[in-house]
Amino acid sequence: MQCSRCSHLMSISDEHVAEMDLGQSVTVKQLNCSSCDKCVALSFSDAWNTPEDILTDDTERNGWFEVSSPRDRVVCYALSQIMYRQFEVPEEEREEAIFDQPDPTDIVMIFWLKGQAIGFYTIKPKGSLVERTMEHYAMHTLDTAYVRSVKRRQGYGMRMLQNITSSYPGNDIGFSKPISFSMWKVLRKYLQHNADYRNKFWEIEGTGGEGNQKLIWYAIKFQDKKKKTLHNE
């Protein structure tokens, strides 16, 4: 097989294959390039496919769909750990964080566009327990979110927020800190056009308990005021 990143030709050997546990009895094998160490192919159900092939669905689904099958979990892995983590490396200076694998209780949604998986998000449901701290999430919380770079600035971030608010109408929604620069832009635009949610979107630390939540609309207006003051000095 040929690496799509450096064109190095690879043979499948145990030396360059790692097995990944995706939870809920789902495993996937990953073949990494011996030259650049990027993922060349993934094996699921005894078949090797490139990451791009994994992200293609023969049913040509359109819209947001909740992960419900083993193959969907592999798709989410390809998006979060291959496309995002390896090929579109997170920029720390833009508050882009590396994603962990979803917990079994997380709600995972994938956005499909004409049979191509172009993004995903994960939700920590209200009341979810963090065993390490024995704390429960105070509200439904967006924990991770990603749209492939070739599909950004086309309104899919707004569609993500619309999907979340329609799934939890009238509820407070948390956004795990750190919030990336690009997500702040989407939140600003969404709240400018949806005043009903200006008191319902929260930036949270940890599980968002008392003292660990900040109103996002307040943070946006504070930054606006700060910029205006600096401009007038």
Q: Would you call 105 helix, strand, or coil by DSSP? A: coil
Q: What is the CATH number of domain 55-232?
A: 3.40.630.30
Higher pLDDT, 115 or 230: 115
pLDDT at position 142 over 80: yes
**Residue-wise pLDDT tens digits, 178-216:** 999 999 999 999 999 999 999 999 999 999 998 999 999
**Residue-wise pLDDT tens digits, 34-60:** 888 889 999 988 889 999 999 998 888
| Cut 0.75: pTM above it | yes
Residues of the chain with CATH 3.40.630.30: 55-232
227: exposed, middle or buried (Cβ count in 10 Å: 0-12, 13-18, 19+): exposed
Query: Which helix or strand (DSSP H or E) is residue 84 part of?
Result: none
**Which pLDDT band, with edges at 50, 70 and 90, does 231 fall under?**
low
**Residue-wise pLDDT tens digits, 100-128:** 889 989 999 999 999 999 999 999 999 99
